[in-house]
């Protein structure tokens, strides 16, 4: 079915059209100014001045963290390990496939309303490992209609064989552009040398997705276990390769950064989470100096990514004591790098509104209070929109997944089901103590 969005502003980080149209099926077929619109379509949606952008890619999250919202547990952390022990590991070891599915539906719905159409997730669930990535797919992709990249956070906290099997079974699935697989590792600090050897043998060429040096503890642990720092330890096992997704990378030395560069990995920054956990700030300047590709995630701290872009910009200004530490050109590079990464992994073209690119489009109201054009449109996004994003219509591969701010299925019921699943989860956590 062919659709057209007409009378819209269009911006894709390259070109800006003040009053234009987009014609699309699964992919964009034509785009231009309204004066050139004469295309036969099955459905024509009058955007009446809405701004149309490519849907955003969320570079790293934990969908299961949805059910931490409002959960009150005794919390008195003195280290990053305490934060894991007192909160996150209490939650994830009680998750089963039912909780995973319901968290996926509500998380993806919230993310969609914030403009996200592709989610890169890092999943853990102690009660059900087998089938957990399918539960995520059913929620994010089948129900809400987004694209997703999934993996299971292998760690010695769980049955390592089951973790490996779950990653392998998802890697082996037939991925058709809606999904892609990483091989998931929680972090160096939760994996023995023996487990790393087994993962290296088992990963079937899939790039890994792993937390690296989120806190100094990861480095201390790696030095104790292997007499090597984290990046060298992972590299010694042959785990770093093109498109490996290295998350955080806050406490790395020059040698480790050089290895990341040589291995052509991508680094996902999540600065809001880093500040929330008080573990440090990203090495943005050092990564940029080496041209290491950087993308942005939220680590599950929210369901948005545009506010993470802002937080990264603000924090880098503060860290280096100059607004020159991160400018709009940096923002542009990060957004483009994220689309390029997701495009390679999914095997489709994302991030531009021009023929041949997937029709992953979001449309939202924005009446610019100052002149808007090709040279300053990104400034309008960053300073006028990113802090509060509210999408009216959204399409993924041309399918309408959000219309007039609403999903085309019973959202109220899904949120009710989620609250029930969360309540059951919280009871399991409290019972365990």
Q: Which residues bind to Zn ion, rule: CB under 5 A?
A: 299
User: What is the smallest separation between the CB atom of 273 and Zn ion, expressed in angstroms?
Assistant: 7
Q: 11: which strand partners? A: 16
User: What is the smallest separation between the CB atom of 372 and Zn ion, expressed in angstroms?
Assistant: 35
End-to-end CA distance of the chain: 54
Residue with smaller CB distance to Zn ion, 151 or 377: 151
Cα-trace Rg, the chain: 21
Decide: 409 and 143 in contact? Cβ < 8 Å: yes
- CB-based contacts of 247, cutoff 8 Å, min separation 6: 60, 122, 209, 210, 211, 212, 214, 267, 268, 270, 297, 299
For residue 15, give both structure tokens. Answer: 């070109």
Nearest to 412 by CA among 142, 103, 106, 101: 106
Residue with smaller CB distance to Zn ion, 29 or 153: 153
Nearest to 167 by CA among 151, 148, 185, 180: 151
Residue with smaller CB distance to Zn ion, 95 or 359: 95
Residue with smaller CB distance to Zn ion, 235 or 299: 299
Decide: 51 and 28 in contact? Cβ < 8 Å: no
| DSSP class per residue in 35-47 | GG-----SEEEE-
User: What is the smallest separation between the CB atom of 187 and Zn ion, expressed in angstroms?
Assistant: 9
User: What is the smallest separation between the CB atom of 117 and Zn ion, expressed in angstroms?
Assistant: 20
For 433, counting Cβ atoms within 10 Å of its Cβ (0-12 exposed, 13-18 middle, 19+ buried), the class is exposed
Residue with smaller CB distance to Zn ion, 119 or 402: 119
For 320, counting Cβ atoms within 10 Å of its Cβ (0-12 exposed, 13-18 middle, 19+ buried), the class is middle
User: What is the smallest separation between the CB atom of 202 and Zn ion, expressed in angstroms?
Assistant: 22
Residue with smaller CB distance to Zn ion, 124 or 361: 124
Decide: 9 and 52 in contact? Cβ < 8 Å: yes
How many other C-beta atoms lie within 10 A of the C-beta of residue 34?
Answer: 13
| DSSP class per residue in 253-308 | -HHHHHHHHHHT-EEEE-HHHHHHTT-----HHHHHHTT--EEE--TTS-S-SHHH
Nearest to 395 by CA among 7, 12, 22, 19: 22
Residue with smaller CB distance to Zn ion, 28 or 95: 95
User: What is the smallest separation between the CB atom of 220 and Zn ion, expressed in angstroms?
Assistant: 19
Residue with smaller CB distance to Zn ion, 92 or 299: 299
Measured distance CA(351)–CA(336) in Å, rounded: 7
Residue with smaller CB distance to Zn ion, 299 or 330: 299
User: What is the smallest separation between the CB atom of 299 and Zn ion, expressed in angstroms?
Assistant: 4
Residue with smaller CB distance to Zn ion, 308 or 360: 308
User: What is the smallest separation between the CB atom of 279 and Zn ion, expressed in angstroms?
Assistant: 11
User: What is the smallest separation between the CB atom of 122 and Zn ion, expressed in angstroms?
Assistant: 5
User: What is the smallest separation between the CB atom of 153 and Zn ion, expressed in angstroms?
Assistant: 8
Closest residue (Cβ) to Zn ion?
A: 299
Residue with smaller CB distance to Zn ion, 96 or 299: 299
Measured distance CA(243)–CA(345) in Å, rounded: 8
User: What is the smallest separation between the CB atom of 62 and Zn ion, expressed in angstroms?
Assistant: 6
Cα separations in angstroms, 208 against 167, 239, 433: 10, 7, 33
């Amino acid at each position: 079915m062919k659709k057209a969005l007409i009378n819209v502003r269009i911006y894709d980080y390259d070109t800006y059209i003040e009053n234009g149209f987009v014609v699309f099926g699964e992919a964009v077929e034509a785009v231009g100014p309204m004066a050139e619109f004469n295309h036969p379509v099955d459905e024509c949606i009058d955007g009446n001045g809405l701004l149309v952008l490519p849907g955003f890619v969320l570079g790293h999250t934990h969908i299961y963290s949805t059910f931490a919202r409002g959960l009150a547990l005794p919390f008195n952390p003195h280290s990053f390990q305490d934060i894991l022990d007192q909160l996150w590991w209490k939650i994830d070891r009680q998750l089963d496939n039912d909780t995973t599915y319901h968290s996926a539906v509500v998380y993806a719905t919230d993310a969609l309303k914030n403009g996200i159409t592709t989610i890169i997730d890092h999943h853990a669930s102690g009660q059900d490992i087998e089938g957990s990535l399918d539960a995520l797919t059913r929620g994010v992709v089948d129900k809400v209609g987004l694209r997703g990249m999934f993996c299971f956070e292998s760690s010695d906290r769980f049955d390592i064989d089951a973790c490996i099997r779950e990653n392998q079974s998802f890697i082996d699935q037939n991925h058709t552009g809606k999904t892609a697989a990483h091989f998931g590792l929680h972090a160096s600090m939760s994996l023995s040398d023996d487990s790393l050897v087994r993962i290296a043998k088992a990963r079937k060429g899939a790039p890994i997705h792993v937390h690296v040096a989120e806190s100094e503890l990861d480095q201390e642990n790696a030095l104790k276990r292997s007499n090597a720092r984290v990046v060298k330890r992972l590299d010694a096992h042959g785990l770093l390769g093109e498109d490996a997704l290295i998350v955080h990378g806050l406490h790395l030395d020059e040698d480790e950064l050089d290895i990341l560069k040589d291995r052509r990995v991508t680094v996902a920054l999540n600065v809001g989470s880093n500040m929330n956990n008080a573990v440090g700030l990203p090495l943005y300047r050092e990564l940029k100096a080496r041209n290491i590709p950087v993308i942005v995630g939220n680590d599950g701290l929210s369901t948005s990514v545009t506010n993470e872009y802002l937080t990264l910009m603000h924090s880098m200004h503060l860290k280096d004591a100059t607004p020159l530490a991160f400018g709009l050109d940096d923002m542009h590079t990060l957004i483009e790098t994220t689309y390029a990464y997701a495009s390679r992994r999914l095997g489709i073209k994302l991030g531009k509104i021009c023929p041949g690119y997937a029709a992953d489009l979001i449309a939202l109201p924005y009446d610019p209070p100052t002149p808007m054009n090709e040279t300053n449109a990104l400034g309008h996004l960053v300073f006028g929109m990113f802090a509060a994003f509210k999408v009216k219509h959204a399409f993924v591969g041309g399918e309408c997944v959000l219309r007039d701010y609403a999903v085309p299925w019973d959202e109220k019921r899904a949120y009710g089901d989620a609250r029930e699943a969360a309540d059951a989860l919280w009871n399991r956590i409290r019972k365990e103590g």
